[in-house]
Structure 1
Amino acid sequence: MEKEENLEERSLRQFDALVERGNLLWRTTTPQLIKAEPFNFQFRSATSLTVKPILSSTDPGRSKPTNAFSDTDPDFLLSHIGPSHTLILNKYCVVRPQFILHTNDFVPQSDHLTESDLDAAWTVLSSLTRRKYIVIYNCGFEGGSSIGHKHLQILPRPSEGDGFEFFPDLLGISLDTFTVPKIPFQHAVKKLPPSPSSTQLITIYQSLIDQARVNEAAGHNVLLTEGWILVIPRRKGRKGILSANAAAMAGMVWVTGEEEVRQWVEAGPMNLLCEFGVVDEAVTAV
């Protein structure tokens, strides 16, 4: 009997076939490590980002109830996740593979995550077992989202030996304050219990929303791994040609080329994160 493909095997097979046909925009890139304190940055240049559509903050597509994914090429489809979500491959990839988990019906990307969103995200995360992955959510234009239809992204975490780790793993999580020490911008993070239920996930997320004072901000980011969930309030998503999504706020920055890297380094990557996010005065005053 022929062995049934798992999600990762199927996604890589479809991914490579779509790349070969030119339907999925991706090429191998070498990450560039930029040293910083209290954590390093990893930059990846991707030509796919030069043609990726990014709606303005006032574009009707951010609020008009139309399904942005209704005409997706069926070869991008991977799985229907529960009754309300669908998993597809991301056409504008930076890493291999890169997934989009979108709501079947239009929901604004400016809405907070729901229990069904987190349940679907955890279902996908738990199905990817060959390597470690992370789920990111860019809530609203100021959170770095490109379109208005609610979706999360799932992508591989950095490889060991890259010299880069997401800061909750690198610096540890304070159980007293639910923050990571020395981070100069506001955030809230919490370790997850083994195999959390959807009820536990939404309860933790909502508590982090309150602790991070997200409702006082213009948008926010969410990062979810098998071990923790992180929430970061945002003031703005772009500055000139530079932009930051959830991954960038944790140090994994995606750019279109060397000019953007130069501007990030010239301004100071951590300074820019404080500008994109909300400065933690208690940390920066020390």
Structure 2
Amino acid sequence: MATTPSNKMRPKPHLPPNLPSLVATAFSRSVATKTVNFYPTSVTLLTINSIPFQLRYSPSLASKPKPPSVTTPKLFFNPFASPTQEMLITPFGTSPPSHNLVLNKFAVVPEHFILSTSAFKPQTHLLEADDLAAAYACIDAYARHNKELFVFFNSGDHSGASQPHRHLQLLPVENMKEGLEGEWDVLAKGLTDPNTRGKLPFEVFARDIEGLGGDGEELRRVYLELYNQACEAVLGVAEDIKHEGEAQISYNLAMTNNTMAVVPRLTEGGVVKDKDGQEVGNLALNGTVLAGTALVRSEMEWNALREDPDQVNQVLGRIGVPNRARM
């Protein structure tokens, strides 16, 4: 098995102490000027194996432009290459800045923002210590204001990834709860508990990171341990797992202030059927599945899944490696 190369101690990234208000101000301004498209949603809570799971419905999102297929001979637009002043929240990291914080142009959750590398790096390559340290610095900046962030990363064909430039996505947890009438919290926060993991139809691997102090090398060590487990679950072997360059599997990563989790992915989602057995759509899931959320764009999907929540459970069972604890 490959080993992690040794690195010199890197300075921890520093962010503006008022990051939550910076994000909120930038988001409000950009929605007002229509630089950012905000799509309001309806929301309900489903119970999946006793886990509260959000289902959101945004009919307006159906009009969101789709990226061109890989066979399209046109140059792919990269929104992270040179972010406009309207979209840029702040650059940060070592000098020159290693990362940018930018607004998500198509937001379902208010103040959804993105951590992208300043220079182009592939989304399909393994994350580096600097990426993880930067993400945790954002989590910590919110924690200093008694706020929570949910961070997720999509990598590979089956993960829900849509942009080739490396980026992690960040959602204020308080805003993820908007419109909810029942009790719900971010799923990833409880995934270090074997009982919680055992309720899920797919394998997920998680570790406590609260005591690591946001150190990038330590975070990457944990990340690689989880990635190794995910690769072994998909490939069946633990040998020759590379720790640099292209990832060998599709996966999602999630981070909170206390937990890092990785779920290996085999497919992006599954079909949705109405009560007559007719296909009415497709439920696609990205890294927000580790928050315990799903999003649909059509009323037929919305109605079908509320009437038959077990369909969500069935799709969850298809997206990854079947959970051995439930077999």
**TM bracket (short chain):** 0.7 to 0.9
**2:243 — aligned with what?**
none
Is 1:279–2:322 an aligned residue pair? yes
Structure 1 residue matching 2:154: 3-state secondary structure: strand
Counterpart selection for 1:184 from 187, 201, 206: 201
* Unaligned residue ranges in structure 1 (runs of 5+): none
**1:242 — aligned with what?**
283
Identity %: 26
Larger radius of gyration: 2
Given the superposition, is the C-alpha separation of residues 96 and 58 from structure 1 closer, same or farther in structure 2, using an over 3 Å criterion? same
Distance in 2 between residues matched to 1:170 and 1:70, nearest whole Å: 35
Is 1:40–2:81 an aligned residue pair? no
Distance in 1 between residues matched to 2:62 and 2:91, nearest whole Å: 26
**1:167 — aligned with what?**
187
| Displacement after TM superposition at 1:135 (Å) | 0.5
| Displacement after TM superposition at 1:162 (Å) | 4.2
Given the superposition, is the C-alpha separation of residues 262 and 213 from structure 1 closer, same or farther in structure 2, using an over 3 Å criterion? farther
Code of the residue aligned with 1:79 in structure 2: it is: T
Given the superposition, is the C-alpha separation of residues 139 and 263 from structure 1 closer, same or farther in structure 2, using an over 3 Å criterion? farther
Given the superposition, is the C-alpha separation of residues 45 and 218 from structure 1 closer, same or farther in structure 2, using an over 3 Å criterion? same
Code of the residue aligned with 1:167 in structure 2: it is: L
Distance in 2 between residues matched to 1:59 and 1:182, nearest whole Å: 41
* Unaligned residue ranges in structure 2 (runs of 5+): 1-15, 236-247, 272-281
RMSD: 2.8
**1:21 — aligned with what?**
33
Code of the residue aligned with 1:199 in structure 2: it is: E
Counterpart selection for 2:130 from 104, 116, 139: 116
Given the superposition, is the C-alpha separation of residues 206 and 244 from structure 1 closer, same or farther in structure 2, using an over 3 Å criterion? same
How many corresponding residue pairs?
276
Maintained 8 Å contact 1:44/1:255:
yes
| Displacement after TM superposition at 1:26 (Å) | 0.8
Given the superposition, is the C-alpha separation of residues 260 and 218 from structure 1 closer, same or farther in structure 2, using an over 3 Å criterion? farther
Distance in 2 between residues matched to 1:224 and 1:139, nearest whole Å: 15
Given the superposition, is the C-alpha separation of residues 248 and 60 from structure 1 closer, same or farther in structure 2, using an over 3 Å criterion? farther
Maintained 8 Å contact 1:55/1:146:
no
Code of the residue aligned with 2:80 in structure 1: it is: F
Q: Deviations over 1:124-143 (max 9, x none)?
A: 11112342111000112211
Where do residues 147-158 of structure 1 align in structure 2 (5 Å cutoff)?
Answer: 147-157=163-173, 158=176
| Displacement after TM superposition at 1:88 (Å) | 0.4
Q: Deviations over 1:139-176 (max 9, x none)?
A: 122111112111110002244964222334457524xx
Structure 2 residue matching 1:100: 3-state secondary structure: strand
Structure 2 residue matching 1:112: 3-state secondary structure: coil
Given the superposition, is the C-alpha separation of residues 65 and 19 from structure 1 closer, same or farther in structure 2, using an over 3 Å criterion? closer
Distance in 1 between residues matched to 2:137 and 2:215, nearest whole Å: 10
Q: Decide which moves more: 29-38 or 44-53.
A: 44-53
Q: Decide which moves more: 182-191 or 241-250.
A: 241-250
**1:137 — aligned with what?**
153
Given the superposition, is the C-alpha separation of residues 71 and 168 from structure 1 closer, same or farther in structure 2, using an over 3 Å criterion? closer
Q: Deviations over 1:203-244 (max 9, x none)?
A: 000001112236637400000000000000001124453211
Q: Decide which moves more: 236-245 or 262-271.
A: 262-271
Normalization by structure 1: what TM-score? 0.85
**1:212 — aligned with what?**
230
Maintained 8 Å contact 2:81/2:119:
no
Q: Deviations over 1:252-278 (max 9, x none)?
A: 112223223345454621210121122
Normalization by structure 2: what TM-score? 0.75
